[in-house]
Structure 1
């Protein structure tokens, strides 16, 4: 869930068997205080609170470097432990002085199986302190006593129920909890041997429960819109977290990830589920809670067996198999380990889920722009080919309406600039309202070919060929034969070339969007396309009025009336295409209504 939240863990409540405390301030800075019934309370006034503060300060591998200027505080460790460091600072204790006074002798590191971390400290000349923190469900079974108002007594079933009720209350609000416990043991003569003997099995037993540190990790403001985009785009998001079931579901519902009816599967349930049962569960709304990172592999591989294309996020060493297995492995760039980054296909520099959604949108835009580029480039091939076909099939009765040099003008000159402009087109409105394209979809699809040749290309062929015959008609055709040379032939081929170019102007505008109106996308929003259009017109004018280019390209000077005729060509072509897009939008909207009904 790190990509969904701000990673600004803040302890805002402390629960002990005797009291519930409130902690003010947000973020990784000492900007608040601990309060009881709305009044500040300092370290040294409540025995249970004092012990909990010491435990989270001792049982901690993280340092928080204060912010400098406008920069954020630097965390050397994990956000969860950083929030506990700040809690200790808010209580008023000097964590470094306490670390010196009660030096750490041994650590039993956190692991995803037991979900606990233990440190062993020198309490005094005769006593060692065993400090443990971790998941409540995994720590409480190892406790047989409880501290209340500074006194230790046996842990009863009523105590366990009270602890569980408190934890569930906070979890239902989307808050996380860290449980704390301790045990003091007499120091033996051979301390080194005693420390060696204090293993996970011997140290993390007969513990005294102290309390809960309750922390919030607020969702990123942009996550709500990012999730809405995914839902509109038919992209399924599955939360896989180590948090409790209640916390996971509360957060998922709050941010709109799932409905309240979503099924929650824990890591234990996941281990016992068959592939078929898991596939059935994955077909509906589902959340995975209390899941170990290595269990992601089973989820990813099952989804792939179902034919899904899977992107998986992760930051830890144990996430590496799932990142490697996924079609797209996404590692966290800020909190991720080197192992996770090496296994991933992509590194998220800001650890933000919204960046993944933005990348999907950008990918769709690039794919769409390539298709627009292809349609534009290909559609001019037909009006270039038709003149040669007319010459060929008429066995020379129709002279070439377009010379070889003029064909090269279109291919190497007028085509390129607007095409490059289309490659930089911004995301089309509604691009995230479409389902993902099929795995076997091709860039050169039937739709691309149909638009390029049967729609844009055919219209341009009719208009450009019509321009050729129209110039000949003004000079006596069909009463006399089509001109094969001279001024009439030069002007006829020039107008054919010019008509193709002005059809390309309309095509450049029409290709900017697939279904959305160009007016909605912004008629003048793509300056590169307009620069390409101006370049086309300038190049045509250059070829028409420059003497040595006239000889090279077999062109003649265009009259003012010719320019008026050419300027009119793009207008109906643009409006007709806008009409087609409007009809297509209505058809798609009607389909959506039918699906909803």
Structure 2
């Protein structure tokens, strides 16, 4: 028998048959039996993905393709006789690996602190008595008690239920609570059986008693968790791109090494061994040793900035993947909306009232024809508020810690409580004056709830609320303008027309009715004999309360930003089609022409049909867990980079499958958080948009960094080329240790500063980068080698000949040693350093003027510039260091030459950017 068949069996059996099948009783099992079953079934816990060990995670940071390249280049440097260079490269690799591991470790710690789902204690029958037990100790056959606010610890069959409402959104995504009762009703959709309750869901209202039928990983909650954990996460786009970049740089470096090896033999007539060592030095020079630490630090800075924007990223590489996102599959409740049901209209036969203010806070009022009204002067409105308030089991409280509203009951009743507050209705006083004597709980058959109250010694009042179709049929009369008269067909048509109007807008209507009748002398006996059929007839219709879960205020701007950024948003929800489309159109997610596909329709589609459907405007409603997974998978087959949001266990497979899984930190289940790459600490869709902008910024900054560090390779290589192609007549203008000074010394801090650059204006007006786009793009290559690099090469070469010219060249041969040679190489080094100062400023923006974004707005770049000037000065004046790096003290004229260098370079680049902006606004944003 399958698990589904077993579940159906427990639902359709009588309570006695279920208890017999589980070898239990109405008062549970014994403690001894519980221990036996605990040994058999294990603890009632959801096991999380253990992942790799800390040691393996640590070692992994040293095994990327770029890290391997650095290990090899460090070894090559040692072999070539530059031991200091080799050690320095290895130290960079080690420091980067440790830092990267630490960032991942910190992210994991923060994630683990959010993991909390199942309740700690449950009231369980053991040895015939109710005892408080740790929920992890529950076993199949345990009988336990439930009340409003309890999280359900196991899958169970109800034995008793009174007015029970269960929030199953963690499993189904459906925001409306399910009514539960002992009587079997299959319901509509998954997990809709009226007498079964499931682990990970919550009791919204009512009380009950149930027997556990499945625990731990055998629950529906656990099965979906297990399915999620079986999926393997593929490499992130950034990790793939870094591997590609490493191969590109390796090929460039090796090609240059081969060219220099051949040139050294043919032009300078070096022996093969010496030419090989020389070529190895050039290969090492072209390896960007600072790339890995800069990537790690850029991502880490992105993680920090995103955390401030309520987005906790678990994996550093996920930061950049966000920037590539082309489609966001978003659930509705709590992400696009506030998850706070709000009454926005009250309809009576004669008038329609507008209710202002949103959420579970009394921050609004009641309007009629655009003017604020006193509810006590409106008979039907006052009566409706009274009926809805008295017929209500929910409380709305302000949480002491967060200050946010907390409901004890159902969202629908909470909305009515807030309506009463806006109307100035004193519920406590009314309850004391009009006490409740009897209740007929809501059930899924009649879809109504009724309560009986004492008005005075002679009169009782029945308050009724429920679905319109199931309530209005019980009404013989209607109250209009303070008077009760028989209800007519015109009245019924008007009521139905109003209800249909609201339904088309995706709003929910709840009918209110009442009946007054005489109290007998023996009221207790009268009420004992009263049945639902006796009570709920000959009712007087009062009106409709119309409600909806309002959109988050900031969602409109967030959706607009996504559309400007060419990011498609697809709503995937368990809610009804009308509600889903209404919200989607209202917040601008889609137009009114969008197609709404239900879970049933989705099942009937072929893969080709779904792929075509996903290319247009689409909304998914009433979807099951495996269907959300199918949607994400198909989008990926269409070539999309998909971010998927979710909070329930039903969302976990899709979260794991998506390129970026985004879980809710407040309402999310631990399974969802475990599966996700990012957790929103405020459950807000706008935080995703902020994170996407941050992801795009990180990628843009990596390209800026890459441009910057590759730029210095050109003026490092040109002097060596002059040496080779002159046949050695031009002495080597720059030593390997000086090249190392630039790569690992002066360039490092400004490069890291570029990693913290803020988003450039217009970054969210660009489409997501193409899947086949690369970090080392044509634009980066052109800028680094043919533009910035060429300018720097001309200046550094000029600096070399400037010194020799001052010492008699060309009338005397170029110095190959001594103080003049040391001064010449020092000036080449200085010219590169000061050219890089200008390039650091130029690289801060792709197209915008650096003066527009603020010349001094990025302090880290300026700290780096200050550091490289100080470091260069230190190398020129410190004995011992001078010999190691072949530097010497410069005279005032030399320093003046160097300090002038940045100004023309910045000016030339500003002119180029201005021409680019004038000719094509997007010229510098596309590869």
Which band: TM-score by shorter chain? 0.7 to 0.9
State the Cα RMSD in Å: 4.5
Q: 2:512–2:541: 8 Å Cα contact kept in structure 1?
A: yes
Instruction: Give the paired residue count.
Output: 563
Mean CA deviation greater in 37-46 or 485-494 = 37-46
Change in Cα spacing, 1:553 to 1:339, as seen in structure 2 (3 Å) is: closer
Are residues 1:92 and 2:426 paired? yes
Change in Cα spacing, 1:540 to 1:293, as seen in structure 2 (3 Å) is: same
Q: 2:844–2:850: 8 Å Cα contact kept in structure 1?
A: yes
The answer for the alignment partner of 2:817 in structure 1 is 485
Q: 2:662–2:677: 8 Å Cα contact kept in structure 1?
A: yes
Select which of 400, 409, 417 maps to 2:749: 417
TM superposition shift of 1:82: 2.8
Q: Which runs of 5+ in 2 are unaligned?
A: 1-331, 455-459, 516-523
The answer for the alignment partner of 2:634 in structure 1 is 302
Aligned with 1:589: secondary structure? coil
Superimposed CA distance per residue, residues 450-481 of structure 1 (whole angstroms, 9 cap, x where no aligned partner): 43333323332232123212322232223321
Select which of 483, 490, 499 maps to 1:167: 499
The answer for the alignment partner of 2:546 in structure 1 is 214
Q: Which runs of 5+ in 1 are unaligned?
A: 199-203, 593-597
Distance in 2 (alpha carbons) for counterparts of 1:398 and 1:103: 105
The answer for the alignment partner of 2:376 in structure 1 is 41
The answer for the alignment partner of 1:346 in structure 2 is 678
The answer for the alignment partner of 1:573 in structure 2 is 905
Distance in 2 (alpha carbons) for counterparts of 1:49 and 1:583: 67
Change in Cα spacing, 1:385 to 1:589, as seen in structure 2 (3 Å) is: closer
TM superposition shift of 1:392: 3.8
Q: 1:145–1:155: 8 Å Cα contact kept in structure 2?
A: no
Distance in 1 (alpha carbons) for counterparts of 2:860 and 2:758: 12
Q: 1:145–1:152: 8 Å Cα contact kept in structure 2?
A: no
TM superposition shift of 1:434: 1.4
The answer for the alignment partner of 1:283 in structure 2 is 615
The answer for the alignment partner of 1:443 in structure 2 is 775
Are residues 1:12 and 2:341 paired? no
Q: 1:5–1:218: 8 Å Cα contact kept in structure 2?
A: yes
Q: 1:52–1:211: 8 Å Cα contact kept in structure 2?
A: no
Distance in 1 (alpha carbons) for counterparts of 2:917 and 2:906: 16
Distance in 2 (alpha carbons) for counterparts of 1:153 and 1:357: 55
Change in Cα spacing, 1:455 to 1:155, as seen in structure 2 (3 Å) is: farther
Distance in 1 (alpha carbons) for counterparts of 2:414 and 2:384: 21
Change in Cα spacing, 1:506 to 1:8, as seen in structure 2 (3 Å) is: same
TM-score where L is the length of structure 2: 0.53
TM superposition shift of 1:338: 3.9
Are residues 1:529 and 2:861 paired? yes
Aligned with 2:427: secondary structure? coil
Alignment of 1:135-146 (within 5 A): 140=469, 144-146=473-475
Aligned with 2:811: secondary structure? coil
Are residues 1:550 and 2:882 paired? yes
The answer for the alignment partner of 1:595 in structure 2 is none
The answer for the alignment partner of 1:177 in structure 2 is 508
Distance in 1 (alpha carbons) for counterparts of 2:352 and 2:647: 33
The answer for the alignment partner of 2:895 in structure 1 is 563
Change in Cα spacing, 1:122 to 1:236, as seen in structure 2 (3 Å) is: same
Larger RCO, structures 1/2 (Cα 8 Å, 6+ apart)? 2
Q: 1:145–1:153: 8 Å Cα contact kept in structure 2?
A: no
TM superposition shift of 1:275: 4.5
Q: 2:477–2:540: 8 Å Cα contact kept in structure 1?
A: no
Alignment of 1:53-68 (within 5 A): 53-55=389-391, 57-58=392-393, 63-66=395-398
Select which of 466, 475, 487 maps to 2:798: 466
The answer for the alignment partner of 1:359 in structure 2 is 691
Distance in 2 (alpha carbons) for counterparts of 1:31 and 1:519: 45
Distance in 1 (alpha carbons) for counterparts of 2:563 and 2:774: 24
Superimposed CA distance per residue, residues 225-257 of structure 1 (whole angstroms, 9 cap, x where no aligned partner): 322221121101223456666665554444333
Change in Cα spacing, 1:332 to 1:26, as seen in structure 2 (3 Å) is: same
Distance in 1 (alpha carbons) for counterparts of 2:390 and 2:683: 31
Change in Cα spacing, 1:539 to 1:49, as seen in structure 2 (3 Å) is: closer
Distance in 2 (alpha carbons) for counterparts of 1:512 and 1:368: 10
Change in Cα spacing, 1:510 to 1:160, as seen in structure 2 (3 Å) is: farther
The answer for the alignment partner of 2:478 in structure 1 is 149
Q: 1:238–1:286: 8 Å Cα contact kept in structure 2?
A: yes
Q: 1:369–1:425: 8 Å Cα contact kept in structure 2?
A: yes
Superimposed CA distance per residue, residues 567-595 of structure 1 (whole angstroms, 9 cap, x where no aligned partner): 22222222222233333334443789xxx
TM superposition shift of 1:154: 9.4
Distance in 2 (alpha carbons) for counterparts of 1:149 and 1:31: 31
Superimposed CA distance per residue, residues 404-424 of structure 1 (whole angstroms, 9 cap, x where no aligned partner): 332222123211111111111
The answer for the alignment partner of 1:226 in structure 2 is 558
Distance in 2 (alpha carbons) for counterparts of 1:42 and 1:67: 34
Distance in 1 (alpha carbons) for counterparts of 2:619 and 2:341: 22
Are residues 1:401 and 2:736 paired? no
Aligned with 1:3: secondary structure? coil
Aligned with 2:732: secondary structure? coil
Distance in 2 (alpha carbons) for counterparts of 1:144 and 1:93: 29
Distance in 2 (alpha carbons) for counterparts of 1:552 and 1:587: 49
Alignment of 1:187-336 (within 5 A): 211-215=543-547, 217-241=549-573, 248-249=580-581, 251-265=583-597, 270=602, 274-288=606-620, 296-336=628-668
Distance in 2 (alpha carbons) for counterparts of 1:35 and 1:589: 49
TM superposition shift of 1:34: 6.5
Are residues 1:507 and 2:839 paired? yes
Distance in 2 (alpha carbons) for counterparts of 1:33 and 1:147: 32
TM superposition shift of 1:427: 0.8
Change in Cα spacing, 1:101 to 1:504, as seen in structure 2 (3 Å) is: same
Mean CA deviation greater in 459-468 or 331-340 = 331-340
The answer for the alignment partner of 1:201 in structure 2 is none
Q: 1:43–1:92: 8 Å Cα contact kept in structure 2?
A: no
Superimposed CA distance per residue, residues 14-40 of structure 1 (whole angstroms, 9 cap, x where no aligned partner): 235565455465542346676889342
Distance in 2 (alpha carbons) for counterparts of 1:147 and 1:29: 36
Q: 2:399–2:405: 8 Å Cα contact kept in structure 1?
A: yes
TM-score where L is the length of structure 1: 0.79
